[in-house]
Structure 1
């Protein structure tokens, strides 16, 4: 009774919360939950309605209903709270017997818009009706409707095709209130013919704060002049298919008295003079700088402009709260840079050292040979992320008589920092080499001394993968915090292997570096193909060196198809045997040594586990949906794998989703 009274008191206190607090809470909930909150009590009703109607989405399912109700104003009485209207009628995939897209007429659309007096954003994403709806906006009386409109988002990618007079006209119509626009300027652009040029056009947008400007006209428009035309700009994204403009010594491309906070530059190439100008004159107001080079790789660019200029730019970026730099030429790009003197990895980490500055933050890295000419480094205010493009010289050494697999490390006397700063490392490898998996694992454990996560994905058959992490639910819960002082040995407690069985060398490597492993899993993809074609395969896994091991999962379909004998050699001397002996591999059967001796059928493969009687050892045969659980050496009642068990194994054991 006392607990009930306390519960009512707590509920009463919750009812008395300020309206704004309710609104904030409901804004964070899913719409279906907010809808339920409307009916709880009078105090919840209005803030729940306001949160529910903050965004209205019109799609294939409700367009017909809204068309029928567009003349009934009472149906839209809560739409004065709506700040964003999304018309989303995009078809995904191919559908048989798909009904024709239902579209508002001009009169219906104009009536509908009038029910939303406080709209700040309109987003139109339709397969066929976008141009119609955009054209209808031109007929809105902008003096009385959509007076608070801040942005118009269209499905059309303005960077693929020159926006027509229609889109420029729609922006221009609502120029008094728009704060965000995206423009593309071609040689024969309506911006020049109708509006007297880009600057004259932009000068009409008195509240413009965010501008994306793709300049493909070949005519350079200085950032300074854009800032003068739009003094309220806080964000400029400048994209060009032409290299950065030629500047004279002392030229300043910025308005130092502007409100600019974010600047994004994307050019095929950036000249030495442009680098010097950014380094010297970037306004102190800028808190975020993103630079993208689209037609040349990092090392050819450094050869052109000089490493010292690049280091000065990186040092300037290190002082910003947020910054990024990337080179992303076409992946077929052929570099002219020759690895004479410093290696690519040494150069990369030298630039990264300047970019990092004195920050002590987590670092997430991706190494890939899929896009060997792509390199980036980014600081988002909390951590640094990098992508390093692997090339042949990073993986192999040809200096001897024979080619050897030798993964590159930077020269620390030149780069200052190296892989030791990495806390989370991913390898995405297209090169098929049976030694790569263990070589890159060894590289990670030796060179990255503070890892919390490391993974390897072979992009081509046999698609070997491994994941080492601090948490078995890494991909589901993510990493919230890093302890930058903790070692890899202290952090890494879980090993997940996929599509291969570890060799003795592999187990020894793990045992030497991570003796405190708690979870060891060896699985595969449901219904997938594995490297198990040999007629006879015997495997032995010595897990005795992992004294803290609590959970083991092993998928027996990783070994050859046919009858399988599973043997446990426990450290106390006891031996246990289990067998999968039918062609479909659908059942585990406990057998004795005497049964094995008397059995006329020789198993095709034998799997031997040397281990303690750990807390839970799970044998699974994903092909037959059967598994056997052994708790502290005692087999549990045999049963088929249920749906919930499959989800459990997918989430807890396998390197990726079970059904992929």
Structure 2
């Protein structure tokens, strides 16, 4: 190893964490020399190191303590008391955990080559920023700013901006909030572009426009031939008309379209609206030289945008975006009067344009409106399309009448197995959709499908499907599963919130769905029957013990089932209800196991004729060649259960017949 060039070590350290680099420094002298160079490029000063640094700065040991200070290129000051410190003004904020002005400036003198400084996690951002006015920093390239939504006042931001102007000749990164106060403070009648031109070496620019609705974003990047990363955000104060974005750029006599700077690689655009003129401008502006494009539209919904700009213009932009290596465009959650079928037809048309000639299959996420957006994302590194389709409330809450019909037909055979139930229990059971239910209502199969005469692609392009809803009725999940199993012919992975996971397990080379994992306990009667109907060839079944009722699972229809994992779910105090696990085999033999609900984490085999335990039971009807394993864990351990890495408490049930 001593004969390897230093560049090899640097290449290795690039992929290691700081603790790992520190460990490597103890191996040998040559590794130590290389590790010191890399490790000391970044200096993280937490609460403890603030105290050490202050002590050494006030003593004769400063030169020794900061002997590697010339290697430091990035300084981060952070405090775990950040939230407490922020509530107290400068000098009053826990002086034990922060530097005074004199200490801070003296510290910087021992770090003569720093290029980047991050004070955002210190709790004293504006306090330290005011010190930088007097600092002598020859090579500073970036001063990390708090995001625009942070609650510091105009005067605090202007303090940050003053520091940036002081170092305008060396800064390569800038965060600029374009407001009326900014213009009054910095420009005195000078245009924003002239003001920005003072920064000669910018490579990264975040520009938050909260002042002029006709500002030309595309002209900004032309100021900097070396600019590689541009983020342009528009604030609510610019929302003054229906066509607020770059409004003046398209009027008669306006300046022609500015060409894209060839050095620009990453472009992030946060817009309020995406009107037709801006859509056309983006379409002509974007080129293949861009590596990453991220467009977020805050006020426009996907379907309203399509109606406003026209399907042809929307598809043209999506085709252009789909040619890029790393791209994402997102729209506000929809609230439309369109039918389900009309929505999905338009959605698949957009997907078809965005997908282009790519042979990649898609990951599709059906999400609720509470926390989601319609988005279209592609990354060439993994070759995977990720698409989000937002379900409106009507899409899954409009089934109330159907669900009520289902509840009126509770399976009486299953209901008789309920231990110690009364009328109140059954009402609770109906309201919360816990118990086994069934329905012959064919309308449950009417999940929205694209119109094939309009959209040339459909669910056949989906290989991974996720349904993410805070709450979903059993009936809606049934409807979703029927849709997926019927139409997604290339499906390899399916997840329903924290309810159900279906995939091929790791040891399986083919792409068939071989493992079914119920993520919250015992499945309902209907859901289990759907799995039997559509996935009779599964090989692995994982489920938990959580259920309000006795359950009987008939595994005989699974002809290829090899293994079954039962996770006995425990509460945070390592206790759960007592549980009977019964096995009824096809040859007529039976065996019972009893778990008493204590921390012993053991199953005791019981004689069914002599012992009766009045507790909830879980009965399996199956062949006797299935491998059953029982594990003990929490609800979280059931969610994260991995068949290749079972819980330490996993034990195999022996096939000894009573």
Q: TM-score range by the shorter chain?
A: 0.7 to 0.9
Q: 2:233 aligns with which of 239, 260, 263?
A: 239
CA 1:569–1:213 in 2, change beyond 3 Å: closer, same or farther?
same
1:149 alignment counterpart:
140
The equivalences for 1:441-520 within 5 A come to: 441-457=481-497, 465-471=499-505, 490-503=511-524, 505-520=526-541
Please state if 1:321 is matched with 2:334.
no
Deviation at 1:326, TM superposition (A): 0.7
**CA distance in structure 1 between the partners assigned to 2:656 and 2:83 by the alignment:** 50
Aligned to 2:409: none
Question: Following the alignment from structure 1 to structure 2, what is the Cα–Cα distance between the partners of residues 368 and 244?
Answer: 29
Distance (whole Å) between structure 2 residues aligned to residue 106 and residue 314 of structure 1: 53
Name the CA shift for 1:519/1:538 in 2 (closer, same or farther; >3 Å).
closer
Q: Is the 8 A contact 2:78 2:123 kept in 1?
A: no
Partner residue in 1 for 2:271: 267
**Counterparts of 1:204-353 in structure 2 under 5 Å?**
204-241=198-235, 242=238, 243-246=244-247, 247-248=250-251, 252-256=256-260, 258-283=262-287, 285-328=289-332, 335=335, 337-339=336-338, 343-353=342-352
Worse-superposed segment, 350-359 or 119-128: 119-128
Q: Deviations over 1:62-111 (max 9, x none)?
A: 1010111136122222232222111112437789xx97651112221112
- For residues 385 and 356 of structure 1, the distance between their equivalents in structure 2, rounded to whole angstroms, comes to 10
Can you list the C-alpha shifts for 1:278-333, whole angstroms capped at 9, x where unaligned?
2124355333332221012111222222122111110111222222211136xxxx
Counterpart CA distance in 2 for 1:267 and 1:137 is 33
TM-score when normalising by structure 1: 0.78
Helix, strand or coil for the counterpart of 1:299? Answer: helix
State the alpha-carbon separation in 1 of the partners of residues 340 and 479 from structure 2: 25
TM-score, normalization by structure 2: 0.79
The 5-angstrom pairing of residues 11-26 of structure 1 reads 14-26=1-13
- Say whether the 8 Å CA contact 2:584–2:619 is kept in structure 1: no
Q: Decide which of 74, 78, 81 is 1:91's aligned counterpart.
A: 81
Determine the structure 1 residue equivalent to 2:583: 568
Deviation at 1:372, TM superposition (A): 7.9
Per-residue deviation, residues 529-560 of structure 1 (Å, max 9, x unmatched): x551x5xx3423325524242342243779xx
More displaced, 543-552 or 102-111?
A: 543-552
Q: How many residues align?
A: 578
Please, which runs of 5 or more residues in structure 1 have no aligned partner?
1-13, 458-463, 474-481, 525-529, 636-660
C-alpha separation between the residues in 2 aligned to 1:185 and 1:43? 50
Contact in 2 for aligned 1:297/1:373 (Cα 8 Å): no
Contact preservation (8 Å) 2:225, 2:261: no
Cα deviation, residue 633, structure 1 = 1.8
Q: Which residue of 1 aligns with 2:651?
A: 629
User: 2:474 is paired with a residue of what secondary structure?
Assistant: coil
Greater displacement, 372-381 / 309-318: 372-381
Structure 1 CA distance for aligned equivalents of residues 51 and 350 of structure 2: 57
Distance 2:650 2:29 in 1: 55
Question: 1:440 and 1:257, CA in 2 relative to 1: closer, same or farther beyond 3 A?
Answer: closer
Q: Distance in 2 between matches of 1:256 and 1:582?
A: 67
CA distance 1:622–1:19, change in 2 (3 Å)? closer
Residue aligning to 2:65: 75
Distance 2:293 2:184 in 1: 27
Deviation at 1:204, TM superposition (A): 1.1
What is the SS of the residue equivalent to 1:545?
coil
Task: State the SS of the aligned residue for 2:581.
Answer: strand
Output one character per residue of 1:241-271: Cα deviation in whole Å (capped at 9) or x when no partner: 3331222378644234553333222221121
Q: Which residue of 2 aligns with 1:199?
A: 193
Query: Aligned in 2, Cα 1:626/1:363: closer, same or farther, shift over 3 Å?
Result: closer
Among 176, 182, 187, the residue aligned to 1:189: 182
Q: Tell me whether 58-67 or 114-123 shows the greater mean CA deviation.
A: 114-123
Q: Give me the whole-angstrom Cα distance separating, in 2, the residues matched to 1:219 and 1:276.
A: 18
Question: 1:427 — aligned with what?
Answer: 467
Q: Bigger CA drift: 570-579 or 188-197?
A: 188-197
Partners of 1:272 and 1:492 in 2: CA distance: 44
Cα distance change of structure 1 residues 338 and 364 upon mapping to structure 2, 3 Å threshold: same
* Separation (CA, whole Å) in 1 of partners of 2:25 and 2:650: 49
Q: For the Cα contact (< 8 Å) 1:586–1:621, is it kept in 2?
A: no
Partner of 1:121 in structure 2? Answer: 116
- Hey, what does 2:639 align to over in structure 1? none
Where 2:538 maps in the other structure, the secondary structure is coil
**Alpha-carbon shift at residue 620 of structure 1 (Å):** 4.5
